[in-house]
Amino acid sequence: MQNTQISDKEDSRPMGFPAGLILLRDRDLNKGTAFTEEERDEFGLRGLLPTRVHTQEEQVIRVMENFHRQGSDLERYIDMMALQERNKTLFYRVIIDHLEEMMPIIYTPTVGEACLRYGHIFQRPRGVFISAKDRGQVIDILRNWPYEDVRLIVVTDGERILGLGDLGANGMGIPVGKAALYTACAGIHPNLSLPVTLDIGTDNKELLTDPLYIGLNQQRLRGDAYDDLVEEFMKAVHELYPYALIQFEDFASENAFRLLDRYRSCACVFNDDIQGTGSVVLAGLYSTLRITGARLEDQKFLFLGAGEAAIGTANMIISALTNNGLSEEEARQRCWFMDSKGLVVKNRDDLNALKAPFAQDYQFFEDLLPAVESIKPTTIIGASGKTGAFTKSVLEAMTRINKRPIVFSLSNPTSRTECTAEEAYTWTQGHAIFASGSPFDPVQLDGKTYVPAQANNVYVFPGISLGVISCYATCVTDEMFTAAAKILSEATSMTDLMQGRIYPPLCKIRDISARIATEVSLIAYKQGLARKPEPDDLRSFIRSQIYEPEYCSYI
């Protein structure tokens, strides 16, 4: 039987091993046509399966043939989710073996379209929905989850799904997708992860009038009632799963920062949109410095957007700069912001508590182009969800100012990106060092091939979480994210950098995740945060925890 790795249980099979159709319909145990002759006799499968026994490798070929036969990426997403419900082991084998092809399907950008239509393509539940009507019963709702040993929870309230806004309960596609990436990219056993959606209603008028919307048909819960539900959820998790790590995902900015500040000192939590994005962008910046030969402290960053991703990234940059010897004030002076109203400056009286610390003593500009021409940033970072905001004029200005302008267009899905890879390279005559939130194909320009980098959080959050849950850490620290950034940058080869790619190819992700996990665990042990005794060989221990989706004998 498959080893659940980090779990202390020796066997995760339910009491009374199933047989016949019940076994074939159990996604955890089903092997389909790979059941051996002996297993077919033992478990009453004769006649319920075609005669020939296939290997897992042959099954993967069949899956990929059907995958490529689908007419759209959304249909491919539905096809893969159906496979996950039939045969979980085969699903993860396919994902791992074809990760670069599968990543845009099971996560961004296709998962964004899936969330928009989630109620219309809904087949079977893949997580736990906790609604505003469940007050006082949250722990009972969580007890309905069939796996007792939960080590990792991805939770959203659906208010800020990617760059698509409030999708309410339809946002479940995000924690489901993140849980799949944890297994594919870091080898965390799928039964250790729990996707959760806090269904507190939605302010999306289209969803409220959609008869197939799956969530509460009411306006969003706010104020004390919202906080009380979150608090009840956090207490229930602590009671049922005391060693679990909680990842906050796609909350609106105000709640995202507030909840992270509220719980980070008393629970094992992090916010991927804030800390994960900051870490992966910092890694990309470290890689750009390897190309330009410049220093981080000599850079000037202009952010378009002032939400979770932008502020989280700025905080990570500030942390790195202060580690390099700058004061916090000097570090802040290198981070400039533009929100929906214009440049974030001190003479504005409409700045909230998140933006105010970044206000510069400077002239106000309403539009991006004059701000770029005046401030002269070395780097522009888009996290606005504003399609096409990095115009030809803006990128030409960046090229006049910098020999190698750094352009990070992070908004996703693809429909919300500030510029495409082709636009970035073409409008800068190939001088841009480019990264994006969504994947783009290589670009041919003047006889040269440019391979755009995807600043995907998947490079860091699976490895960080694997390290945290491996040592039973009590909390997640910023040092873990900065350490992950350095490891990720170091894993980017000179060959990658010469092609313009500032992150390594995804085929290396499981090895990178293991390296990050080892360093994260080491930090936890050094800081006295680990609740599990330190193994003699931490690196070997971490790698021993990595799940491989392979069939094993039931006899």
Supply the residues annotated as catalytic: 107, 178
Q: Which residues contact 298 (CB under 8 A, 6 or more apart)?
A: 378
Dist. CA 526–CA 530, nearest whole Å: 9
Q: State which H helix or E strand residue 551 sits in.
A: none
537, two tokens: 């060989």
CB 131 within 8 A of CB 202: no
SS3 249: coil
> How far apart are the C-alpha atoms of 550 and 87, rounded to whole Å?
12
Q: Are 342 and 365 in contact (CB under 8 A)?
A: yes
d(CA 66, CA 58): 13
Bridge partners for 129 per DSSP: 197
Instruction: Report CA-CA distances (Å) from 315 to 276, 374, 453.
Output: 12, 23, 22
C-alpha dihedral, 157 to 318 to 383 to 99, nearest 10°: -80
Residue 195: CB atoms within 10 A of its CB come to 25
Residues 6+ apart with CB under 8 A from 67: 76, 79, 80, 94
Neighbours of 374 (CB within 10 A): 12
Burial group, residue 226, by CB count within 10 angstroms (0-12, 13-18, 19+): middle
DSSP state of 525: H
CA proximity to 411, closest of 171, 155, 72, 112: 112
Give the type of residue at 551.
Answer: Y
Please answer whether residues 63 and 90 qualify as being in contact, where contact means their C-beta atoms are separated by less than 8 angstroms. yes
Cα(20)–Cα(42) distance, rounded to whole angstroms?
Answer: 10
The HSE-up count of residue 332 (CA atoms within 13 Å, CB side) is 12
The residue with tokens 């221990």 is 541
How far apart are alpha carbons 395 and 401 in whole angstroms? 10
* DSSP structure class, residue 273: I
Contact 56, 550 (CB under 8 A): yes
- Cβ atoms of residues 308 and 355 within 8 Å: no
What are φ and ψ of residue 382, in 5° steps?
A: -95, 120
Burial of 145 (0-12, 13-18, 19+ CB in 10 A): middle
What token pair was written down for 98? 């074809």
CB neighbours (10 Å) of residue 265? 8
Sign of the torsion formed by the C-alpha atoms of 2, 4, 9 and 15 = negative
Q: Decide: 189 and 5 in contact? Cβ < 8 Å.
A: yes
